[in-house]
Chains A and B, each alone.
Chain A
Amino acid sequence: MKLRHLALVAALAVGAAHAATTARAQDKSIVVASTTSTQDSGLFGHILPLFKAKTGIDVKIISQGTGQAIDTGRRGDADVVFVHAKSQEEKFVADGFGVKRFDVMYNDFVLIGPKTAPAGIKGQDIVAALKAIFAAGSPFVSRGDKSGTHAAELDLWKAAGLDPAAAKPAWYREIGQGMGAALNTAGAMGAYVLADRGTWISFKNKGDLAIAVEGDKRLFNQYGIILVNPAKHPSVKKELGQCFIDWVLSADGQSAIRSYKIEGQQLFFPNAESAELKKAG
């Protein structure tokens, strides 16, 4: 009898917990799979309340590396994907998992390194910098997690004609973690690391790290947004998802992105085509 009571209590508790926590989920809400850079930099904390105030839609952000975020979309576990690795995004759409890809905004990558500059790097040329790191065997932290930043890093090594990810020398350390964790690790081991500028500016544990290379055109970092294809996954909330995408691309959304600043520095630069057209018109 006591056991039956316990079972009843447990069932009630789980039911209540479910009701208490999913009541809000019944409201208008969508799941957006995005990247650690957009979340950790605080961008969503700035723009989502504006979107919510206008539409009443709750946006639930899952922040993952770009590769994992795209996979979340592919499995149908998100309504919208908001990431930064154009070739992976185009493949996602080409494979039929996404409806259409739109440019949203950009920022740039920066090469972060110890202030002591062990590889003697300072300047603008990222390819020359990577060659110097390779030649000196200076510690380098790689995200190693198939994120957008990881993909960009591998492309830059390729541009330098080098492939440490295949050779795996001792100084090249793949940690398989997010941007913040990679910065923490680089700081602790006095290593170089490629980071997106947004995360770098908002990062609170800079310690002895500083920007070693910035301003190279090859460090451009474009973000795109895609609605997960309802034809593949009927559970996708296409109206609400499309509403979010439309807003992000609208003049309102673009100016919300533009107005996000930390210590006076703008973190992301909106460049959606539709907004450009509106501005031009």
Chain B
Amino acid sequence: MDGVGALDLILSGDRTLFAIVRLSLLVTLSATLLAAVVGMPLGATVALTRFPGRDAAIVMLNGLMGLPPVVVGLLVFLALSRSGPLGSPGILFTPTAMIIAQAVLIAPIIAALTRQLVEDLWAEYRDELTAMEVGPLARVKTLLWDARFSLVTIGLAGFGRAAAEVGAVMIVGGNIDGFTRVMTTTIALETSKGNLALAIGLGLVLITLIMAVNAIAWGVRQWAERHAG
């Protein structure tokens, strides 16, 4: 009976579904951007500098790629709760809390992959950059800029992880109807209501969305590569 439910919702341009899709994209794209801004320079810095305990730092960065979303959710929840250290602004159970949780979840993924990418690139550029006497900060910038097309793929890896997770946003967002309900939490809710067909339909919508974001990124990359000459 609900087999066509999801399809109906999409075709009729259902406003609730539209709002949920919009919030999903807003939260996950913001989190990806935030994580990229922190993670990419961090990864590049680790790749290009030598410091004591660097090996341990790399192992930790790589290990944090496997951070369980539910643990991230719990930690962010405890921090943002009114009884927690960052509770006073009342961010818990808002989309902002969801952005923070997802950014924490994927920043290590972006940082770890960037570290590997920049380190490999450094092997190619080492002689040139050393000869030009480029300072450490400028090296980070130069290599990140040179790796920008590959960094898009790294950003997409983070985006995919954030878009797919349900554990963290459920805990810190509270799955509030019309306010913090996103695609994954809606799917979990409909499953628990026994609306399995509708849940599958929404799942297909989510997968399609993730595909669309990837397609757009691919198109932009192709275009940019052509025009970058």
- Chain A residues near B176 (CB-CB < 8 A): 31, 60-62
Distance (whole angstroms) from the CB of A20 to the closest CB of chain B? 7
Query: Once the chains bind, are B193 and A14 in contact (CB under 8 Å)?
Result: no
Number of interface residues of B (CB under 8 A): 39
Distance in angstroms between the alpha carbons of A10 and B158 in the assembled complex: 15
Q: With A75-B82, A204-B193 in contact, is A62–B175 under 8 Å at CB?
A: yes
Interface status of A205 (Cβ within 8 A of chain B): yes
- Chain A residues near B145 (CB-CB < 8 A): 2
For residue B22, which residue of chain A has the nearest CB? A20
Distance (whole angstroms) from the CB of A23 to the closest CB of chain B? 11
Interface status of A265 (Cβ within 8 A of chain B): no
Interface status of B87 (Cβ within 8 A of chain A): yes
Distance (whole angstroms) from the CB of B216 to the closest CB of chain A? 16
Distance (whole angstroms) from the CB of A60 to the closest CB of chain B? 4
- Chain B residues near A31 (CB-CB < 8 A): 93, 174, 176
- Chain A residues near B193 (CB-CB < 8 A): 40, 180, 202-204
Distance in angstroms between the alpha carbons of A66 and B32 in the assembled complex: 34
Query: Once the chains bind, are A18 and B90 in contact (CB under 8 Å)?
Result: no
The dominant DSSP class at the A interface is: helix
Q: Contact check: which of B33, B81, B88, B95 meets A77 at CB < 8 Å?
A: B81
Distance (whole angstroms) from the CB of B42 to the closest CB of chain A? 12
Distance in angstroms between the alpha carbons of A30 and B87 in the assembled complex: 16
Task: Give the total number of A-B pairs whose CB atoms are below 8 A apart.
Answer: 111
Query: Once the chains bind, are A21 and B82 in contact (CB under 8 Å)?
Result: no
Q: With A2-B145, A76-B83, A233-B82 in contact, is A17–B27 under 8 Å at CB?
A: yes
Within 8 A of B (CB), among A155-208: 177-181, 183-184, 202-206
Interface status of A142 (Cβ within 8 A of chain B): no
Distance in angstroms between the alpha carbons of A2 and B37 in the assembled complex: 11
Distance (whole angstroms) from the CB of A115 to the closest CB of chain B? 16
Within 8 A of A (CB), among B181-206: 189, 191-196
Query: Once the chains bind, are B96 and A204 in contact (CB under 8 Å)?
Result: no
Interface status of B99 (Cβ within 8 A of chain A): yes
Interface status of B104 (Cβ within 8 A of chain A): no
Q: When each residue 12-34 of chain A gets 1 if its CB lies under 8 Å from chain B and 0 otherwise, what string results?
A: 01100110111011000001000
Interface status of B2 (Cβ within 8 A of chain A): yes
Q: With A2-B141, A17-B27 in contact, is A9–B33 under 8 Å at CB?
A: yes
Distance in angstroms between the alpha carbons of A231 and B101 in the assembled complex: 30
- Chain A residues near B81 (CB-CB < 8 A): 75-77
Given A75-B83, A204-B195, A235-B88; 11 other pairs, CB 8 A cutoff: A2-B141, A3-B141, A13-B33, A21-B26, A60-B179, A75-B81, A180-B192, A183-B194, A184-B192, A204-B193, A204-B196
**Sample (27) of A-B pairs whose CB atoms are under 8 Å apart:** A2-B144, A3-B41, A6-B36, A7-B37, A10-B33, A10-B34, A13-B30, A17-B30, A17-B96, A17-B99, A20-B26, A21-B95, A21-B179, A31-B93, A31-B176, A60-B174, A60-B176, A60-B179, A75-B82, A75-B83, A77-B81, A77-B92, A181-B192, A204-B195, A206-B194, A233-B82, A235-B87
